[in-house]
Structure 1
Amino acid sequence: MAFYVLILKEKEDEIGVTYRFGAHEDRLGSLWIDKLSGEIKELQETPEQNSQAFFQRAAVKVWQNWKKGAFPEKTSWAS
């Protein structure tokens, strides 16, 4: 099963970054990453059947960027 997860930065401050994520730009969930620790929390599920699969993939991509010290405005997961 192929997956595409769009990941868009919503807001950023000195503590963390909030991203919106999902398969379609009009149906997004949200997550937050702590800039210091890399801890990720799901704030809102996507309205998709496999919402946890979308969150897990978005979280991995955001965490990979965090490891590089990057918080891009837009990224994606594709498999």
Structure 2
Amino acid sequence: MNDADNRDDLSITLGIEEEFFLVDPDSRDLLADPDPAIFEACEARIEPHKVTRELLRSQIETNTRVCASVAEAREAL
């Protein structure tokens, strides 16, 4: 059973995620072991909890909150 089966309100929600690769500006190689300061700087500039690390260390993800409409998601960007 999934979470949707337990909800009284089965309205549709959505969110937007973007994934970014962390790349060395000189070599253009993916950063195998990025400095944690990169992640901290992204969090400070965007908002805490809107930037997350991905399984691949050379990748980060930004996301919106859960939204009830496309218009709300657009505004969240």
TM-score by length of 2: 0.31
Larger radius of gyration: 2
Between Structure 1 and Structure 2, the one with more strand by share is: 1
Q: TM-score, normalised by structure 1?
A: 0.30
